Structure 1
Amino acid sequence: MLVTGCGTQTVSQSQQPTTQTITDHAGRSVTIPVQISKCYYTSPLGMIMVYSLAPDKMVGWSMQLTDKEKKYIPEKYWSLPFLGGLQMNGKINTEELVKAKPDVIFSVGPDPMTDTTKSDADKLQQQLNIPVIVVDGDIKSTEKAYTFMGKILGVEDKAKELAAYCTKTMNEVTAATKDIPEDKKVKVYYAEGPKGLSTEPKGGSHALVLDLVNGNNVAQVSAKGGSGMSDVSLEQVLKWNPDVILSWGVDAGGAYDLIRTSGDWKNINAVKNNRVIEIPNYPFNWFDRPPSVNRFLGLKWLASTLYPDNYHVDMVKEVKDFYALFYHANLSDDDAKSLLKNSALKS
């Protein structure tokens, strides 16, 4: 307001724009609000990234939390509804999602982006009339993804902190394990499913953590696209004779107990030498499924487990630090030790 003589004159101020147009990682132009107060995601990949960045902006979970998973997540987020996701032929509860009124939806996937990625995002955006933003979910693009999402969500400082952790972890682990001689690489079989007779080959997206720490993945099978899990026979596993077996726990639908106790597996070196490892699974699996930023703790865990002479860290401290930074959960030493209970190699 300007005062002039006996009267007043109103000077109009230009209003700040309420929307902005961005280019997502698929090259799509997307118009979004400048201020994002609520968001959603098409899969647990994006969900975990948003949860680590800005949990108070989540409108729901794309995976259903069990009581054991909730133990490692602050209680204030337990009541967020399960709204589903598009992973593994799943569905989003679009009616409830529209009611939740997210400002944007993040589409984060581990596979290379294709024309289908773009068209699927366009279709979902048109169906819901909510902006859909495609983000590169490749593990080696994590810094780019965090920086991009952090700017959109208005949490750039947090994004910078998380991205720095991920980049530092990747560099440290790969540097420590990259020069391990071929004859010193640990022979590992990744046992998936309730019978342990599904697996992932070297180069498969679901066994990426094992490749990154330079483990010798013994599975000589063809990769399956999408959700993976190539079927194998027990005879094949006996022939490969791994020194270490990584398995899901019973709670995760895995064969950890079966492999250790069944006579069918007893002649495999990993079983004979008590080197069957349960992959920590709470609140999110450290190795894969979902293949999000939870794998960075998995990199530290698996590198220090397979190659302690090359990469040695205090895993109790690492677990506590990671859970505080990414999951907003303050763990005790006993909490961390409980997560690690079945996940170390016996000497």
Structure 2
Amino acid sequence: MIKTRNFAIAFLFILSVMICSLFTGCGDKSVSQQSTTQTITDHAGRSVTIPTQINKCYYTSPLGMIMIYSLAPDKMVGWSMQLTDKEKKYIPDKYHSLPFLGGLQMNGKINTEELLKAKPDVIFAVGPDALTDTTKSDADKLQEQLNIPVIVVDGDIKSTEKAYTFIGQLLGVGDKAKELASYCNKTMNEVTEATQAIPEEKRAKVYYAEGPKGLATEPKGGSHALVLDLVNGNNVAQVEAKGGSGMSSVSMEQVLKWNPDVILAWGADAGGAYDLIRTSQDWANINAVKNNKVYEIPNYPFNWFDRPPSVNRFLGLKWLAATLYPDIYKVDMVSEVKNFYSLFYHVDLSDADARELLKNSGLTVN
């Protein structure tokens, strides 16, 4: 009896080992091995093979940098623009130590040696201009040069939901992408609905003063003055659009002839002419100056109007609509600033912080 029982036990043990070997390789092999890569189609129609899990990434310009920062800051390997101490005030401390690695905007360069050391899994190429064959070839060249997948994303402001959804899926932060895209869509709809019906004769005549002397600008339809167009402001600049970085040169005589009712200018920290325009006799006879309607564009940590032309402009839409048309578009900008900075910049502001950002911006805040 004992021998028979021992034989049965031994038989069952051998049988179980055989079954284990057949189905699982006795633990040495998995049933199926998950792929570590996937092939996607980017917004330029390029097939790009990328890791299935992206832990670290970079970007060719501040436009992409800000989108990634708003979505998944812990996946950033560096900054594509050099942050000043004033800009860092609105960025959590944990990200201050990320290195400046450069970008390709405005004929800039990426520090490829340091970027390779950082070992990003992918690089996002996000630009405000229409996607062309040049966009594709530039991405292909950079990918070949660095041996890092380069993913082209449509950065047009009207494609923000598509861009956020696409990047969010790749980075595994789909819920956050949905939240930010929803904010952007709601803002665009609210602002354009409130301002689109303003008749020509009631539209604010606005001059966008760029540079240290205020004698560079952007025409209507130019990508760098898009926020002004979207709030239905009357851009007085009748100049030819320059591609790329923009900034068409104008003369003082032209500005005097246009005689804008409102001037938007960069502050001194941004290398702008806000103080000069308000105090120089050359500008004194312009309506905007005479009526104290020269406004400094809020600039921290990223400019609300442009440069860089990323999702920071959605807060700019609210600010500019409320500034130009306070009777038509009413909003509590202190509350809006605090909400936006929490959602997009991961920082909680006080009421005083928000008021400081709005100082000189044309809005009266309590």
Q: TM-score range by the shorter chain?
A: over 0.9
Among candidates 248, 252, 264, match of residue 230 of structure 1: 248
Among candidates 6, 27, 35, match of residue 13 of structure 2: 6
In the alignment, structure 1 residue 78 sits paired with structure 2 residue 96: yes
Q: Deviation per CA, 1:98-125: give whole Å up to 9, x if none.
A: 1100000000000001101000000000
Query: Which residue of the partner structure matches residue 266 of structure 1?
Result: 284
Please, what TM-score do these two structures have when normalized by structure 1?
0.98
How far residue 344 of structure 1 moved from its aligned partner, in angstroms, is 1.3
Q: Deviation per CA, 1:187-222: give whole Å up to 9, x if none.
A: 000000000000000000000000000000000010
In the alignment, structure 1 residue 101 sits paired with structure 2 residue 119: yes
Which letter does structure 1 place at the counterpart of 2:152? V
Among candidates 131, 151, 154, match of residue 149 of structure 2: 131
Q: Deviation per CA, 1:77-108: give whole Å up to 9, x if none.
A: 00000000000000000011011000000000
Kept in 2, the 8 Å contact 1:188–1:245? The answer is yes
Which letter does structure 2 place at the counterpart of 1:303? A
Relative to its length, the structure with more helix (as a share) is 2
In the alignment, structure 1 residue 164 sits paired with structure 2 residue 176: no
Aligned-residue RMSD, C-alpha: 0.9
Query: Which residue of the partner structure matches residue 62 of structure 1?
Result: 80
Identity, % of aligned positions: 84
Kept in 2, the 8 Å contact 1:275–1:345? The answer is no
Which letter does structure 2 place at the counterpart of 1:87? Q
Q: Deviation per CA, 1:260-300: give whole Å up to 9, x if none.
A: 00011000000000000000000000000000000000000
Moved runs in structure 1, 4+ residues, more than 4 A? none
Q: Please give the alpha-carbon distance, in whole angstroms, between the structure 1 residues aligned to 2:190 and 2:222.
A: 22
Which letter does structure 2 place at the counterpart of 1:137? G
Kept in 1, the 8 Å contact 2:59–2:123? The answer is yes
Q: Please give the alpha-carbon distance, in whole angstroms, between the structure 2 residues aligned to 1:296 and 1:282.
A: 14
Which letter does structure 2 place at the counterpart of 1:95? E
Kept in 2, the 8 Å contact 1:247–1:276? The answer is yes
How far residue 5 of structure 1 moved from its aligned partner, in angstroms, is 2.3
Aligned counterparts, 1:27-66, within 5 A: 27-66=45-84
Which letter does structure 2 place at the counterpart of 1:278? E
Query: Which residue of the partner structure matches residue 298 of structure 2?
Result: 280
Which letter does structure 2 place at the counterpart of 1:336? A
Query: Where do 5+ consecutive residues of structure 1 fail to align?
Result: none
Aligned counterparts, 1:231-310, within 5 A: 231-310=249-328
Query: Where do 5+ consecutive residues of structure 2 fail to align?
Result: 1-10, 25-29
Could you say if the C-alpha distance between residues 313 and 247 of structure 1 is closer, same or farther in structure 2, counting changes exceeding 3 Å? same
Q: Please give the alpha-carbon distance, in whole angstroms, between the structure 1 residues aligned to 2:187 and 2:33.
A: 44
Query: Which residue of the partner structure matches residue 140 of structure 1?
Result: 158
Q: Please give the alpha-carbon distance, in whole angstroms, between the structure 1 residues aligned to 2:145 and 2:249.
A: 37
Q: Please give the alpha-carbon distance, in whole angstroms, between the structure 2 residues aligned to 1:67 and 1:222.
A: 36
Query: Which residue of the partner structure matches residue 8 of structure 2?
Result: none
Query: Which residue of the partner structure matches residue 215 of structure 1?
Result: 233
Kept in 1, the 8 Å contact 2:322–2:363? The answer is no
How far residue 15 of structure 1 moved from its aligned partner, in angstroms, is 1.4
In the alignment, structure 1 residue 191 sits paired with structure 2 residue 209: yes
Higher-Rg structure is 2
How far residue 326 of structure 1 moved from its aligned partner, in angstroms, is 0.1
How far residue 345 of structure 1 moved from its aligned partner, in angstroms, is 5.1
- In the alignment of these two chains, the number of paired residues is 343
Query: Which residue of the partner structure matches residue 21 of structure 1?
Result: 39
Which letter does structure 2 place at the counterpart of 1:171? N
Q: Please give the alpha-carbon distance, in whole angstroms, between the structure 1 residues aligned to 2:129 and 2:359.
A: 32
Q: Secondary structure at the match of 2:98?
A: coil
Among candidates 67, 80, 91, match of residue 109 of structure 2: 91
Which letter does structure 2 place at the counterpart of 1:24? D
Kept in 1, the 8 Å contact 2:211–2:271? The answer is yes
Which letter does structure 1 place at the counterpart of 2:201? D
Among candidates 320, 326, 332, match of residue 344 of structure 2: 326
Q: Deviation per CA, 1:150-208: give whole Å up to 9, x if none.
A: 00000000000000000110011000000001100000000000000000000000000
